[in-house]
Amino acid sequence: MQTTQVLTLEDARKIAAAAEAEALSNHWAVSIAICDAGGHALWLQRLDGANLMSASVAPEKARACVLGGKPSKAYEDMVNKGRTAALKMPITPMEGGEPIYADGRVIGAVGVSGVQSSQDAQIARAGIAALGEGYLYGDGQS
């Protein structure tokens, strides 16, 4: 048996608050989604002014991260480099999702949608950083 950490509602609140602060400091209207290691929703919020579709896209970006164990940008890059078969995968291949790693394992993810994809990812990483030392994003090696 292996022991693994799990995200709590308090963790989700901390991530969401930091992600929201990053978005608001840049005047970006986005949706922020946080999921657990199974891709199940822990948190979803749509900031005032965020487009309606962002509330559907953000959770799917997060889910892509936990299913594949890497940032959602990795899948977007596959498609952009011509590997169109990646479009058949059961994920949303768009930058803006970041997995959350603890002890080398994906324990959840943050997905953001509403502005440019690189800005969505910036917001997601700011949220994860609020968890403090020992929690990584990206490929889990950073």
**Domain extents in the chain:** 9-136
Nearest to 23 by CA among 43, 47, 55, 44: 47
At the fourth CATH level, the homologous superfamily of domain 9-136 is Haem-degrading domain (3.30.450.150)
Which string of DSSP letters, residue by residue, matches 23-52?
HHHTT---EEEEEETTS-EEEEEE-TT--T
Q: Is the dihedral of CA 59, 64, 69, 75 positive or negative?
A: negative
Question: How does pLDDT run across 68-125, given as a tens digit for each residue?
Answer: 999 999 999 999 999 999 889 888 889 999 999 999 999 999 999 999 999 999 999 9
Confidence of residue 138 (pLDDT cuts 50, 70, 90): confident
